[in-house]
Amino acid sequence: NSIGQTKFNTFYYLLLLSNDAIAEQVEYMIQQKLIPCVKFNIIKKYL
């Protein structure tokens, strides 16, 4: 039962999307009451 629980989703595919597509994904997630997250690896310096 997920009622009252926080839900998360990760954009593991960000590099494949345009800025507009990323904005659409974030908007959809917010509408669905999800929390957009970005997974990153400091050691490999992806950011």
Q: What DSSP string describes 1-47? A: --TT---EEE-TTGGGS-HHHHHHHHHHHHHTT-EEE----TTTT--
User: Can you read off the two tokens belonging to residue 20?
Assistant: 């507009």
Q: Write down the pTM of the prediction.
A: 0.54
Q: Which range marks the domain in which residue 5 is found?
A: 1-47
Q: How far apart are CA 27 and CA 41, in angstroms?
A: 25
How many structural domains does the chain have? 1
Contact at 8 Å (CB) between 38 and 10?
Answer: yes
Q: Mean per-residue pLDDT for 10-34?
A: 81
Measured in whole angstroms, how far is the alpha carbon of residue 27 from the centre of its chain?
A: 10
Question: Is residue 44 very low, low, confident or very high in pLDDT (cuts 50, 70, 90)?
Answer: low
Which tens digit of pLDDT belongs to each residue from 25-40? 889 888 988 877 776 6
